[in-house]
Amino acid sequence: MAASAESPKVNGTPRQGREPSPAVVNPALRSPFRETVSLNGTWDFCTDPELQGESAGWYLPGKVLPSARPLQVPGCWEAQGVGEPGLSSANNKLVYEPTNVKLRAAYTGAAWYKKDVAIPTHWAGRQIWLKVGGVNAQGWIWLNGTFVAHDWAYCGTWKYNVTDLVAAGGKATIAVLVRNDVASRRGESNCVRVYGGLARGVELEATPAVFIDNAFVEPLFDQQKARLYVTLRNATSAVPNKPYTLQVNVATVADRPSRAKPPRPYRWVPVQRPN
């Protein structure tokens, strides 16, 4: 299941967001062509047990969250002391819990995250993406007062093109309404509790208009070869589509050209109880 471009409001009225695209947040390898600004760290946070934040415009730039406290992202709010001591299973209709355990802090309901970030000046003319690693149970995302997306995914990580919502050298305000009193798609990760929060990282990314959107390598060990899959993306109609040349350089992790052939792997032989 993916994040959705069409999302219900908290009161059930439909609203339209941005089209989600698969993404990698905090990748192991970085590229100078995909510069990022991490939004991990301290966010403003407040609970919203009466579900009044959206109608009160808490997502708007300049609107201060009432009784805000600092909270770390990524992470769930239970681990950071939000709520009162209680039992893990606040609503057995949402998830099967084999064991109901006592928690030092348990809050079930709606809560808001909010953060301001400066957009680098040299990002002018680039495509800017908001990348969200994961929300539980569901999240509603705004940027500079505009609704962006409803995140209700299993384990997907998604990005949204927000180029038209920000300006290089300006400020971006990201607000996320998170609820853990609604159904989650994160399966066994909720086997003790439907936890709440921005559970994985968040970042902004700048790319050229035409860029490599995805790439992965399929190793063909028996043939001592590898097959490379690359997806090129044109994010704007202002740049016409045309043939492109792809150059691939093979290197080791230490960034030295690879000359040695990899050792031929042993063939796996199944046994009665393989791991």
pLDDT for the residue numbered 82: 95
User: Which pair of tokens denotes residue 30?
Assistant: 């970085």
pTM: 0.82
Torsions phi, psi for 189 (to 5 deg): -65, -15
Distances (CA, A) of 272 to 197, 268, 269: 43, 13, 10
Residue 275 DSSP code: -
Residues in the chain with pLDDT values less than 50: 1, 4-8, 272-275
CA 185 to chain CA centroid, nearest Å: 15
Token pair for residue 126? 């680039």
Burial class (CB in 10 A: 0-12, 13-18, 19+), 242: exposed
Burial of 86 (0-12, 13-18, 19+ CB in 10 A): middle
Per-residue pLDDT at 13? 53
